Amino acid sequence: MPSIYDLKPRFQNLLRPLLRGLVAWKITPNMVTVLALMGSILIGLLVGAHPGSSPWLLLLPVWLFMRMALNAIDGMMAREFNLSSNLGAVLNELGDVLSDICLYLPLAWINERAGLGVIFFVVGAILTEFCGVLGKALGATRHYEGPMGKSDRAFFVGLLATLTFFFPVLLDHWFWIFVFGSLLTVLTCWNRIAGALKELRGV
């Protein structure tokens, strides 16, 4: 199923000039991964501390784009400059999950009426990452199928935050919007598990 993740190769090509500079400055993939996590914690705290459709909501689309860039950079550094490590793999997987929690869970405080929908969405986000790495644990490759993978969630939340700032009435619909997003995470889990099992069967 289509996903924004499919655009990753083009996005990576745009980042290559920056990548070479970071490697020349002795920046490691793990440093980039930790920076992405620390930034997500900070942005989540700032957004969650200012309820309603405040200007702080606009931090989300900006940071989510930057986080995608950092996530792409750490992987490229590890692969293309032979800087991968077991610790890096652990930090990458944990960092993605913890960043999602730190960025999305505070939205429940912005609009308490949507709190349960936000929690469903966060749980779904965690499960999609688990289902993605589950294939690798079973002996297949890691799976990235959509329609609500990491990049898709970033686009979904970033767009919602931007629209809500300009159209505050959207806050009244957040619960059902996040329920819809949660259902897409369930479909994503199904697609990733199905993809892993299909790979293991050699189909």
Confidence of residue 142 (pLDDT cuts 50, 70, 90): very high
For the beta carbon of residue 64, count every other beta carbon within 10 angstroms: 24
DSSP string for 26-72 = T--HHHHHHHHHHHHHHHHHHHHTS-SS-GGGGHHHHHHHHHHHHHH
Residue 126 and residue 108 in contact, taking contact as beta carbons nearer than 8 Å? no
Answer whether residue 112 shows pLDDT above 60: yes
Query: pTM (2 decimals)?
Result: 0.92
Q: Residue range 87-98: average pLDDT?
A: 94
pLDDT at 9: 73
Encoding tokens for residue 93? 């997987």
Encoding tokens for residue 61? 């689309």
pLDDT at 13: 79
Phi, psi dihedral angles at 142 (to 5 degrees): -70, 140
| CATH class of the domain defined by 4-201 | mainly alpha
Residue 52 — left, alpha, or beta (φ > 0 → left; ψ -120 to 50 → alpha)?
left
Report which residue type is found at 51: P
pLDDT at 102: 97
Interhelix angle 174-201/150-166, rounded to 10 degrees, is 170
Q: Residue range 149-174: average pLDDT?
A: 95
Cα–Cα distance list, 16 to 13, 31, 69 (Å): 5, 17, 11
Q: Select the more confidently predicted residue: 50 or 189.
A: 189
Answer whether residue 3 shows pLDDT above 70: no
Residue % of the chain over a pLDDT of 90: 74
Distance (Å, whole) CA 47 – CA 163: 15
